[in-house]
């Protein structure tokens, strides 16, 4: 049996890698109190801008939502390995969201906080895995560009 050319191998490995990094990023945020900083930021913005949605949440709500998203992404992995055409736009969206997520964590850490009244003590939550999000998202983008879509 001959191996498929690189252009036909799909993006499954890149998809699975980004899922693994996403899981690690969830852990990084959880142990560094992401929800506390998030809620303080939302309440500050809501206090300054009445049109801003008040979307503060509990740790359980936040973690449940992210774990459901992760499980859905993992459930789609077999389709990524099959190079399914319908999954490609979703893969671009997944990679884009995670790339922006990683960049956002790095930028807020460089800034020292999210808003003037919400400052980080040291690095921001999610900072340690943010470079991995950038790299694994870029790898998924690259694999999507290199692989040919199947119908």
pLDDT in tens, 94-151: 999 999 999 999 999 999 999 999 998 889 999 999 999 999 999 999 999 998 776 5
Residue 1 has pLDDT above 50, yes or no: no
Residue 21 has pLDDT above 90, yes or no: yes
Q: Which helix (H) or strand (E) holds 119?
A: strand 118-119
| pLDDT of the residue at 2 | 46
Helix (H, G, I), strand (E, B) or coil at 114: strand
125: in domain: yes
Report d(CA 38, CA 45) in Å as an integer.
11
Cite the DSSP H helix spans in the chain: 12-31, 34-48, 59-75, 77-81, 88-111, 130-146
1: in domain: no
Note down the domain range covering 141: 6-146
11: in domain: yes
Report d(CA 121, CA 132) in Å as an integer.
22
* Model confidence pLDDT, tens digit, residues 40-79: 999 999 999 989 888 889 999 999 999 999 999 999 999 9
Number of domains forming the structure of the chain = 1
């Amino acid at each position: 049996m001959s191996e498929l050319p690189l252009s036909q191998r799909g993006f499954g490995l890149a998809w699975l890698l980004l899922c693994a990094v996403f899981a690690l990023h969830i852990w990084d945020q959880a142990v560094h109190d992401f929800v506390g900083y998030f809620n303080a930021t939302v309440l500050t913005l809501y206090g300054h801008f009445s049109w801003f949605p008040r979307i503060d949440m509990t740790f359980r709500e936040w973690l449940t939502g992210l774990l459901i998203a992760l499980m859905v992404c993992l459930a789609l992995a077999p389709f990524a390995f099959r190079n399914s055409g319908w999954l490609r736009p979703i893969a671009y969206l997944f990679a884009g969201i995670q790339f922006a997520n990683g960049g956002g964590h790095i930028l807020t850490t460089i800034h020292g906080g999210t808003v003037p009244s919400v400052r980080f003590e040291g690095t921001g939550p999610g900072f340690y895995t943010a470079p991995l999000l950038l790299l694994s998202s870029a790898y998924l983008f690259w694999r999507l560009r290199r692989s040919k879509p199947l119908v």
